[in-house]
Amino acid sequence: MCGIAGYIGNGGNKDKLKAMAKALERRGPDDEGFYETSSEGKKVGFAFRRLSIIDVAGGHQPISNENGDVWVMLNGEIYDFKPLREKLLNLGHQFKTQSDTEVIVHAYEEWSEECFKKLDGMFAIAIWDSKKQKLTLARDRLGKKPLYYTIQKNTGESTMWFASELKALIAVGAFKKEIDPESLNLYFRTEAVPTPKTIFKEVYKLEPATSLSFVDGKITKNKFWNYPTETIENLGAENVVEELGKRIDESVRKRLVSDVPLGLFLSGGLDSAIVAESASRQHPGLEAFTLGFEDKTYDETENAKIIAKTLGLKHHIEILSEEKALAVLEDAINLLDEPLADPSILPQLLLSKFTRENVTVALSGDGGDELLLGYQHIPAHIWRERLDFLPGAFWNMSKKILNTVPSGSGYFSLGFKTQRLARGLDLENRLERDATWRGAFDQETLQKLLKMTFGLPHQGSSLVTNEAENILKAYASETSNPESWSAWSWAYLRTFLMDDVLVKVDRATMWHSLEARAPLLDTNVVSFLLSLPDEYKLGKYRDKRLFKEILKKRLPESILNASKHGFGVPISKWLNGVLKNKLLEVSDPEFLKKQNLFDSSAIAKLIKEHAAGGKDRRKELWAFLCFQMWYIRWHIK
């Protein structure tokens, strides 16, 4: 796992390459490398920071082919690099290292941009082809590894900049820090900024499963993977379980390859348990790392202890206190150069820190909820859709009743759940309802918060739109049946998982120079589960029964039937306690007046409602607090 950055154009130089590398130092503390060239009037520069995992001695980057006309940088891991290397050797290519990055060099020589279809792994790649005078960037199929780019308009030829994180582009002034109004709206609706947008104008994230070529000042993009489908006919439940188990085992096997110490995250839930079970069989004696909470309504350490003991794992536990949470909050704001309103980044940061004290690579259970419909609001969708025949008056009355349940500070308290349920209860479209339930702000509340800015009028403006819902619908439309639950899964993989969960994990682990690998997001596992009929995820197969069938021979019933428990944080209580002063500070009317983004009376009302205990405004206030702290830290003007 590493950090990459670079440029093509006359605006770059060696000092700027060093500045970008410095900004990415925590992604790769073990080594750095640079490459610069100037040919046919074009200047090209690569900067690299390395976290050594494979071929520790010989994996220096950037790396070139034999005659130096193709140069490559890789952030990530290519899991099938050994068989690819053998194939390329048989085709006559010569290698000087044992690294997975050099395989990309020769794969590109052999197959050009078609090489990305052959790579199995998580990756962000940069390739300079001096013969074709072409810069190529590529991002893995599920967007596990980040890659940002922008084109800076210079006097004369423009310069294209790219980097693993925005902070590297900020370090060299590659763009003006102007907030994009659509991105601002999307952040407060979805708690993240969806790909390909960023919070800034004219700066973009490369889409997943996409290669980008930059030649003569023009960008061309090519998709090398789309919604996967397999023909699964009359497979039968036993065969489905057996096949899924085989694919998970193979995925875990590939991710156990490492030249440095390796362990796994263990939450106490089914997703990390399915990974731990497979890993413990294939690699006995692994170390497992669990984060607990002082607030026992959020704590899963007892289940994690049982899993670790049963599977023979060496278990480490760290407890997140309020004091530790506040300490890592500053880290979160420093590492998040783009706003993200997922409070679980705080425990993820602490988990990453104490995991890194023991190992350099950790396996995670990310992806299980998206692929097997494990989120807690799925049953609410199903219940709501069974009652579609009821008139609008019934739903309006139900909303009023649900909103009377008082708030509570515990993990998914009754008041929080009923008030969230009420928000989208009258919406018939599943994806519209989902966006309304899950997001921080609904359209009505956000419209009152955002002030006249960006040249757009205040209330009733196009600034607050239903774009969050439209993004989900667009991804669902890429599938064979947009109304299916597999379409919902695909939309979630392409939004919430990629732009929230994977960003959180990547930034938190990289902040502590730790590599995270997600076996459940292996292409073959994803393809199989998306291709399964919905019946294998709902009804009698609900609550991830497919995972339970695999685990039942090794884990006790108490673990298999434990209540679903996410990586929650007691934000509701903190906003009325240890974070109250910070919240009041960033919502000070004088500061808001200078900022000219938010209506001070609207945010004051949200704070008052939450403090009174009637309305649960944890998600709205946390999104606001995170944005304001980001705004101040990154000196946005």
Which bin fits 514, alpha (ψ -120 to 50), beta or left (φ > 0)?
A: beta
Cα–Cα distance measured from residue 516 to residue 507, given in angstroms and rounded to the nearest whole number: 10
Bridge partner list, 382: none
Alpha-carbon distance of 310 to 557, in angstroms, equals: 12
β-pair partners for 247: none
Based on the residue annotation, tell me whether 626 is a catalytic residue of this protein: no
Phi-psi bin for 613: left (phi > 0), alpha (psi -120 to 50), beta?
Answer: left
What DSSP state is assigned to residue 23? H
Region class of 285: left (phi > 0), else alpha (psi between -120 and 50), else beta: left
What does the alpha-carbon distance between residue 121 and residue 127 come to, in Å, rounded to a whole number? 17
Q: Which member of 1, 2, 241, 521 is catalytic?
A: 2
The type of residue at 351 is L
- Check: CB of residue 520 under 8 Å from CB of residue 248: yes
* Number of other CB atoms surrounding residue 323 within 10 Å: 9
167, two tokens: 């902070």
Q: Which of 149, 163, 137 is nearest to 24 (CA)?
A: 163
Spatial CA neighbour of 322 closest among 85, 574, 611: 574
455: its two tokens: 């040249």
CA-to-CA distance for 445 and 454, rounded, in angstroms? 19
Peptide bond into 196 cis (omega under 30): yes
Strand partners, 71: 64, 128
The set of catalytic residues is 2
